[in-house]
Structure 1
Amino acid sequence: MAALNEVLIKFSDIAANPDKQLKAYLESGKKVVACAPVYTPEEIIHSMGFVPMGVWGADVEIKEAKQYFPAFICSIMQSILELGIKGVYNGVSAIVIPSLCDSLKTLGQNWKSAVKDIPFIPMTYPQNRANENGKSFTKAGYERVIKDLEAATGAVFSEEALKKSIEIYNEHNAAMRKISNLLIGYPQITASQRSDIFKSAYFMAKEEHTKLLDELINVLEETKSEENKKIKIITSGILADNKNLLKIIDDSNFQIVGDEIAHESRQYRVDAKLNLSPLDALSEKFSEMDNCSVLYDVEKKRADYIVELAKRTGAKGVAIFMTKFCDPEEFDYVFVKRALDAAEIPSTLVEVDRQMVNYGQAQTILQTFAEMIG
């Protein structure tokens, strides 16, 4: 048990201290590129010699960013800009921001005005991504990112280097999927510890994070699982990493046995095919992504995906964490709730944002949900 706690503390320290990680990389002579949500082409950035570092904002009071955003917009975008204005990201070579929702589009434009010393590089994705035109459009977007990175930083792109980075990312994807499935059998891992495993991935080079995951997997396989007296649930939403919220989940005797969170497992579902040229492989990968609120899907297959995930993991219910003012998630909720009800899988909705101070309502909702399905 001591060995397990030791490796979990490593994940926790990294997840809690992205500024420490950034400083360490910069002091070692490495260059860092900030990657905004949701599907930034990290493989390209990694292949050009940078450490891709995720920026999903933080639980901070919004002050400076109010000059650029209205109050009724996703707090993740607000807090990313707030941190940028305050100099938290100083030292990064550029920021890449995809345009998968209206809020992300405005973040990019506001960034150019508010944070002039960190170049903004857009990644424009198509809505209809699965047909040949969509794949070509995506590939053109990647080629633009490459040119912009070369112009902003002086780095040089290499297809051979990209192929190697794709292999590294595929390996990391597999390790993340393995750990997610493995944790189902270890109810002693708390919601907060599980979150740290996923969150830490944004602040490390992927090959380094894979080594840490392998260490955890080895320790878990040598650790006896405790009797499961917790209530199994899956979580859904954009982001659910707040420590106060995670503590409520643990205090309510829930075990997260799977997630459909953009910040977590949605990132690792699809690998790039190694038999294609590197850029074609990445374009094909994006075309195969699905079951996500920010990816266009007229059939709303995500709803059925969540039902099947609940059944596969043995979850007794689904906790949906709705990011306030997130239109894509709000649009999808009707379809998800309808599918869960039809499958007789209980669900509950908790509204969250980056500026929450009082968690009393969330606590009441989750504790009531625990009493209903426990």
Structure 2
Amino acid sequence: MSDIEDILAQLREGAEHPWRAVEQAKAEGRAVAGCVPYFFPLELVHAAGMHPIELWGGGSSTGAAGSYYPAFYCSLLFTLMERVLDGSYDDLDCVIVPTTCDGLRNLEENWKFARPDAAIIDVVQPTVRTTPEAHAYMVQQLHRVAERLETITGSRITERAMRTSIALYNRQRAALRRFSALAARHADSIAPCMRQAVFAAARSMAVERHTALVEQLDDALAALSVHEFPGIKVVLTGVLVDSPSLLVELEKNGIAVVGDLTISESARYSHDVPGRVDPFDSLAALWERVRGVSVALDPLKERGELLAALVRERGADGVVMCSVKFCEAEEFDVPVMKQQLEAQNIALLVLEMESQEVASEQAATRIQAFAEMLGDRSGTGFCAADSREGCARTHENG
């Protein structure tokens, strides 16, 4: 267990202190590119010899972004703009902004207005993703981004570098997919907060180091006997589940996370980049392969069915959706997803999160009620008070 704890500590440090990776990259003489969600291929940044860091906003809200966005914009957009205005992103050499929602479509211009010297690179990801025309357009967009990155670094992005980067990131995807499956079988070792940290660390750490740590963690978990978790098991979904207080609340109520279809976690790593002749062609194909998330057009509305399949595969008791408040794409998915899960007798808890980082008292109460309902349904005899006592001891021991 000491090896697992040591690896988890390194990954948690990477998740909690993302800008240390930026400082290290700068010290090594590498340029740093900030990548705004969602689904931009980081391989292209890596192949340019730059260090990519994903920008998900977060942190305190001062209200300064209110001069750029109305109050009903989602917290992700609001806090991204807050960090632009407070200078958090000033040291980045460039910022790549995909345009997959209305808020992101105007973030580029707002950023330029607030920071005229910033190098902002927009990427227009086609809404209709699966036609030959959409694919050709995405290839064109990636070539345009590559040209901008070459201007910033002063060096050409070679095919060999792109193939090397694609192989590295595919290896990371495989390691994280394996981790998700192993963590489901070892909920005693991987609490919800620690599971989230493993994925969150990938947003800032060098891909080589992160992948090596996750592969070591996978091997260590695989060597353990399977743990039969006695409490409630759930699958998460949403855009971002980064609230430590919410994840701790799950643990306090005897709930383990055994899988997810979350944009910032497993949905990002569900498919590899294919090995086609043209690496730009390969990277463009990744956007076409995204399934079951609100920010990618899904005429078939597969999300509920994909979640139901994951619930069955992992032996989960229900689904918890963390919806970013005022995110229209997420809100549109809820009725259909609820209907699909109800048809298969799968319980769904929808938590609307106004902040990415803080769970309200109402959310805590609803989590407790959800756990008790699932405990009654499964006949586990779950007791929230007993679980809280055990969790408190866990946190006291670090």
Cα distance, 1:89 vs structure 2: 2.0
Cα distance, 1:356 vs structure 2: 6.3
Residue aligning to 2:235: 234
Structure 2 residue runs without a partner (length 5+): 376-398
Task: Provide the secondary structure at the position in 2 that maps to 1:184.
Answer: helix
Residue aligning to 2:101: 101
Residue aligning to 2:39: 39
Task: Provide the secondary structure at the position in 1 that maps to 2:52.
Answer: strand
CA–CA distance in structure 2, aligned partners of residues 75 and 341 of structure 1: 29
| Residues 264-308 of structure 1: per-residue CA shift (max 9 Å, x gap) | 011001111113310111122222222111111212112211111
Contact 1:337 1:347 in 2 (8 A): yes
Aligned residues: 374
Contact 1:173 1:268 in 2 (8 A): yes
Residue aligning to 1:211: 212
Q: Identify if the C-alpha distance between structure 1 residues 270 and 357 changes in structure 2 by more than 3 Å, giving closer, same or farther.
A: closer
Supply the AA of the counterpart residue of 1:140. Answer: Q
Residue aligning to 2:266: 265
Contact 1:76 1:353 in 2 (8 A): no
Aligned CA RMSD, in angstroms, stands at 1.5
Task: Provide the secondary structure at the position in 2 that maps to 1:213.
Answer: helix
Supply the AA of the counterpart residue of 2:23. Answer: K
| TM-score, length basis structure 2 | 0.91
Residue aligning to 1:316: 317
Contact 1:97 1:121 in 2 (8 A): yes
Task: Provide the secondary structure at the position in 2 that maps to 1:294.
Answer: coil
Contact 1:41 1:142 in 2 (8 A): no
Supply the AA of the counterpart residue of 1:270. Answer: H
Structure 1 residue runs without a partner (length 5+): none
Supply the AA of the counterpart residue of 1:247. Answer: V
Supply the AA of the counterpart residue of 2:364. Answer: Q
Alignment of 1:1-374 (within 5 A): 1-188=1-188, 189-354=190-355, 359-374=360-375
CA–CA distance in structure 2, aligned partners of residues 335 and 163 of structure 1: 39
Contact 1:258 1:309 in 2 (8 A): yes
Contact 1:187 1:230 in 2 (8 A): no
Give the share of equivalent positions with the same residue, in percent.
32
Supply the AA of the counterpart residue of 1:113. Answer: F
| TM-score, length basis structure 1 | 0.96
Q: Identify if the C-alpha distance between structure 1 residues 357 and 170 changes in structure 2 by more than 3 Å, giving closer, same or farther.
A: closer
CA–CA distance in structure 2, aligned partners of residues 153 and 28 of structure 1: 14
Contact 1:234 1:317 in 2 (8 A): yes
Cα distance, 1:111 vs structure 2: 0.8
Task: Provide the secondary structure at the position in 2 that maps to 1:20.
Answer: helix
CA–CA distance in structure 2, aligned partners of residues 172 and 311 of structure 1: 25
Q: Identify if the C-alpha distance between structure 1 residues 357 and 206 changes in structure 2 by more than 3 Å, giving closer, same or farther.
A: closer
Contact 2:121 2:145 in 1 (8 A): yes
CA–CA distance in structure 1, aligned partners of residues 62 and 269 of structure 2: 31
CA–CA distance in structure 2, aligned partners of residues 321 and 62 of structure 1: 23
